[in-house]
Amino acid sequence: MRNRIFVYALCLAMLNLASPQVAQAALVGTLQAVEASGTRAQDLALVNSALAREQVRGQMEAMGVDPSAVDARVARLTDSELRSLADRMEQMPAGGDALAVIGIVFVILIILELVGVIDIFKKT
């Protein structure tokens, strides 16, 4: 009898060991809980992370990121970051240029000069 209980317990333990991902999937991660408490939205995507990961990977390669660096860059992003990038990578603000602004101001000044609104490039 004692042996039988021992065998049952052993079987149970082995079942547990054999299917770690099933048990693991049942835990709510901290970040997931943070997101859930920040929203009451029904459409909170809890399962689309794998898809988003693939989309971001593809977009990064299409945007010229060195393929050898893509995996590492994707791996560091959180699930919610991946989802927002997957949706909006083309539109998200990509900070890059300050110098172009000076150009724009210059173009506007030239236009204003040409149409005679201002007169700052006068030679005489």
Which residues bind to other proteins, rule: CB under 8 A?
A: 5, 8-9, 12, 16, 22-23, 26-42, 44, 46, 60, 62-66, 69, 72-73, 76-79, 81, 84-85, 89-90, 92-101, 104-105, 108, 111-112, 114-115, 117
Contact assessment for residue 69 and residue 63, using Cβ atoms and an 8 Å cutoff: no
CA distance 121 to 110: 8
Least separation in angstroms between CB 55 and other proteins: 14
Least separation in angstroms between CB 82 and other proteins: 8
Q: Return the SS3 of 13.
A: helix
Contact assessment for residue 80 and residue 44, using Cβ atoms and an 8 Å cutoff: no
